[in-house]
Amino acid sequence: MLSAAKRRCQGLHLTLEAALPSPSILFIGSPVPLRLFVQRRETADGAPAKIQSLSLTISIRTETAVTAGSHKNTWVTVRELVRVPVVELPFGADVPEALTEISNGPWKDTPLADLTPSFTTCTIHHQHSLLVTAEFDYGHGKAVDV
């Protein structure tokens, strides 16, 4: 089942949930075990939202903070792992508003790039996080970022 390592983001008519197994430890050279779920909600008039497609980017965000006395500098970099221009959503107009998993086909075999492991010392904090960016098309020509 889903672990505590999940994050939910809600848009106007849709919820996107990203989940990793617990503990959420990623290994270099291994695929990222990311699971994504979408949930369509009703519009104001009670009709199901018409969400046509989704573009998706999965990246690694690295933050390094160095502290020396009262001075602290932080550097942030983002390295893209995979970009999927169009993902077919797993529901049609007649599917209820349930949490539905998106097929991981586009990213299931993408290995994690070579990274320095996360660590913390008395002066340096170096940490990686998974960044999922999604853009939904509601069918009216305007995309919505999540």
Q: What is the pLDDT of residue 85?
A: 83
Please compute the mean of the pLDDT values over residues 12-28 and round it to a whole number: 81
In a domain? residue 13: yes
In a domain? residue 30: yes
In a domain? residue 48: yes
In a domain? residue 123: no
**Average pLDDT score, the chain:** 79
Q: Are strands 53-68 and 124-137 parallel, antiparallel or unpaired?
A: antiparallel
In a domain? residue 54: yes
User: Count of domains in the chain?
Assistant: 1
In a domain? residue 26: yes
In a domain? residue 10: yes
Please compute the mean of the pLDDT values over residues 104-111 and round it to a whole number: 84
Tens of pLDDT along 26-68? Answer: 888 888 888 888 877 666 666 666 676 778 899 999 999 999 9
Of 113, 118, 110, give the one whose Cα is nearest residue 28: 113
The alpha carbon of residue 98 and the mean position of all alpha carbons in its chain are separated, in whole angstroms, by: 19
Using the predicted structure, report yes or no on whether residue 1 has a pLDDT greater than 50.
no
